[in-house]
Amino acid sequence: MKIDLAKRRRIMQRSIELGHCVCDPKRPCPCDVFKDQGICLCAGERPEPGDIADVKLTEMVHNAGCASKIAAVDLEAVLARLPEVSSPAVISGIPAGDDAGVYDLGDGVVLVQTVDVFTPCVDDPELFGRICAANCLSDIYAMGAQPHTALSILGFPAETQNPEIMYRMLKGAMDTLEEASVALLGGHSIKDEEIKLGFAITGTAQRDAIERGNAKVGDKLVLTKSLGVGALNFARQIGRIDASAMRQAEASMATLNKSAAEAMVAADASACTDVTGFGLFGHLIGMARHSGLTACIQADTLPAFDGALEVLGDGVVPGAVERNREYVGEDISIADNIDDAVVCLGFDAQTSGGLLIAICPERCDTLLSELDCRGVGHVTIGEFTAESTGRIVLAGEFKGDGEIHPKAAQRDSRGQSADDSAQEDAPCCGPDSPEPCCPEATSEPCCPDMASEPCCPDPTADSCCPDQSAAPADLGEGMGTSAHAAQAFGMLMRVTASGGAIDAHSKELINFALAVASRCAPCVRAHYTKAINMGISREQLDEAAWCAVAMGGGPVKMFYQDMLCDLSGGNGGCCS
């Protein structure tokens, strides 16, 4: 581009005199962009547009898609403090926390409105625009309403990124809005370091909207899209899968929930919510709490995109899973025999996920038929079984009468063993127990492996802890010694890594430093990945590692430099 040197000189001189860049007070003048690229952004100079084919949108954001949402527990804490809206025309507002707000226009017509904004979940700008529009429309569809108009909300680093990206994002979104017969009326844009796109959607319904809090005991739960978007996105961001593994999920995210909503309305469903950033269990617990019911979900029915369970099973668990676990809290009971990858799948943040529909048993076949006629995939994953303050039971085997097989509710959302009645009435271990079953009961569990067995299988026994010297009963003949040793070592790792007098983050930094000091490359990789997933920064890991270098000297320093090169793929001068 042509440079106006007089304009550049005038603006830079003003910035230098102020000691701050006039466009960004946090930067000095001359700024790094001027030093590195020879352009002054404040003077309207821009870098030459690069090849858009080389753009990787997901590498430009911290959290992809709906995983960028504020944690539900943090959001609700703020919303609960806001003043009430007193308008009598508001049918469903902030307290309901539903997918969209509902406002009575009179004459049997209600206005249904929603807004959603998030970061790129795919690398292709046009596909991201399509997915974003589909996701925003889902809130209207989940209420059984018809969307009519949209306003865009756009955040974009316009000074440093090719404007063609912005065009393609909006063009893709408009294609999807046109498919939904929705008119884009305009919008608002701001400069932002991360790309963000969203839409405020306005729709109407000719009768009462379908609210998530209207489910009834006995209602079946039908899900219309598979799960695992968040895990696959995270795995791609850290280089654990390639882009081709996302094709199935991308096609699903770009698919409107319009046909599913039409089927739901035709079958007269009781309640509905769309599954997005709070994950299946996060959105289901909202439905359960507002309906005052317990939902029983059959774990082996949960549908997953190809590769999702595999990456979760390999420990590639995004941070949104933990935020959604915290939101659900103790209001979920998980069968002992359910793989943790399946549990994580239920907490995984979805972008443009499916509808979760509650419908009475008498009309369930009608719903399934209506979905089939429209070519909409579906899985019946469980039902609402009883009145409560709002709970989820994740069962390994589900009976039609809503009963759960023995040992079907032994873990809570954090994977801890729990029997509700025993905990509430007479805990078998700890100072609150009337007759502690462990000789030296403390406030801590007396059994180290709380994830696999309840604390006291037999409260009448002399000790509630099983004989740790005996091989597990389910090991094959001849495998007792080695298998039990491996199990015991795994138990030791879990116990020492959990929070206690030292919190879990500090322990992970200690373990990382010890792995460096031991010069164990697989150990460093494993603890590095775990630490990053826990939210520990690279700077904290480096500081811990240098403590190990201080104790181990030159050989440890050379080992850690090689590991940095391995962990960063040879980038950043780590091999110099």
Residue 547 — very low, low, confident or very high, per pLDDT cuts 50/70/90? very high
Q: What's the pLDDT at 99? A: 61
Q: What's the pLDDT at 416? A: 52
Q: Which residues are catalytic?
A: 66
Residue 419 — very low, low, confident or very high, per pLDDT cuts 50/70/90? very low
Between residues 451 and 322, the one the model is more confident about: 322
The 3-state DSSP class for residue 127 equals helix
Q: Which residues of 223-251 are buried (b: 16+ CB within 10 A; e: fewer)?
A: bbbbbbbbbbbbbbbeebbeeebbebbbe
Q: What's the pLDDT at 386? A: 94
Q: What's the pLDDT at 130? A: 94
Condensed to tens digits (0 to 9), the pLDDT of residues 49-91 reads 666 666 667 765 666 655 566 666 676 677 767 777 777 778 7
How far is Cα of residue 35 from the mean position of the Cα atoms in its chain?
A: 39
Query: Edge-to-edge strands of the sheet including 293-298?
Result: 271-274, 355-359, 220-223, 379-387, 293-298, 391-395, 332-334
pLDDT of residue 425 exceeding 50: no
pLDDT of residue 268 exceeding 60: yes
Please tell me the distance from the alpha carbon of residue 199 to that of residue 204, in angstroms, as a whole number: 16
Cβ(384)–Cβ(216) below 8 Å:
yes
Where do we find the tokens 């569809």? 141
Please tell me the distance from the alpha carbon of residue 359 to that of residue 369, in angstroms, as a whole number: 13
Between residues 12 and 126, the one the model is more confident about: 126
Average pLDDT over residues 334-345: 93
Residue 337 — very low, low, confident or very high, per pLDDT cuts 50/70/90? confident
Cβ(429)–Cβ(458) below 8 Å:
no
pLDDT of residue 277 exceeding 60: yes
Condensed to tens digits (0 to 9), the pLDDT of residues 5-30 reads 777 777 777 777 777 776 777 777 77
Average pLDDT over residues 269-281: 93
Cβ(349)–Cβ(229) below 8 Å:
yes
Task: Outline where DSSP puts E strands in 279-348.
Answer: 293-298, 332-334
Give the chain's length: 576
What H or E segment, with its residue span, contains residue 517? helix 504-518
Q: What's the pLDDT at 170? A: 94
Q: What's the pLDDT at 412? A: 53
Name which of 349, 395, 358, 355 is nearest 376 in CA terms.
Answer: 355
Please tell me the distance from the alpha carbon of residue 576 to that of residue 573, in angstroms, as a whole number: 5
Sorted by sequence, the CB contacts under 8 Å of residue 250 that are 6+ apart come out as 122, 127, 131
Average pLDDT over residues 519-535: 83
The 3-state DSSP class for residue 229 equals helix
Name which of 83, 138, 130 is nearest 112 in CA terms.
Answer: 138
Type of residue numbered 524: V
Condensed to tens digits (0 to 9), the pLDDT of residues 435-470 reads 333 333 333 444 444 333 344 444 334 434 344 433
Between residues 356 and 524, the one the model is more confident about: 356
Average pLDDT over residues 409-434: 41
pLDDT of residue 508 exceeding 90: no
Please tell me the distance from the alpha carbon of residue 374 to that of residue 257, in angstroms, as a whole number: 11
Q: Prior bond to 459 cis, omega within 30?
A: no
Average pLDDT over residues 216-224: 96
3-state helix, strand, coil in the chain (%, to 5): 45, 15, 40
Average pLDDT over residues 319-330: 91
Sorted by sequence, the CB contacts under 8 Å of residue 142 that are 6+ apart come out as 99, 100, 210, 212, 257, 261, 272, 273, 274, 355
pLDDT of residue 566 exceeding 70: yes
Average pLDDT over residues 363-377: 95
Please tell me the distance from the alpha carbon of residue 279 to that of residue 350, in angstroms, as a whole number: 6
Please tell me the distance from the alpha carbon of residue 32 to that of residue 518, in angstroms, as a whole number: 39
pLDDT of residue 1 exceeding 80: no
Cβ(419)–Cβ(454) below 8 Å:
yes
Residue 383 — very low, low, confident or very high, per pLDDT cuts 50/70/90? very high
Q: What's the pLDDT at 251? A: 93
- Of the chain, the percentage scoring pLDDT greater than 90 comes to 36
Average pLDDT over residues 308-323: 92
Q: What's the pLDDT at 465? A: 39
Name the range with the highest mean pLDDT among 57-66, 352-361, 484-493, 517-526. 352-361
Average pLDDT over residues 115-140: 89
Average pLDDT over residues 292-318: 94
Sorted by sequence, the CB contacts under 8 Å of residue 110 that are 6+ apart come out as 91, 102, 103, 104, 145, 204, 205, 207, 208, 209
Domains in the chain, please, with CATH? 5-48 (no CATH), 66-395 (3.90.650.10), 504-567 (1.20.1290.10)
Mean pLDDT of the chain: 77
Residue 432 — very low, low, confident or very high, per pLDDT cuts 50/70/90? very low
Average pLDDT over residues 284-291: 93
pLDDT of residue 380 exceeding 90: yes
Q: What's the pLDDT at 562? A: 83
Q: Which two tokens stand for residue 188?
A: 């608002």
Please tell me the distance from the alpha carbon of residue 198 to that of residue 525, in angstroms, as a whole number: 37
Q: Which of 106-115, 339-348, 473-482, 524-533 has the weakest average pLDDT?
A: 473-482
Type of residue numbered 333: S
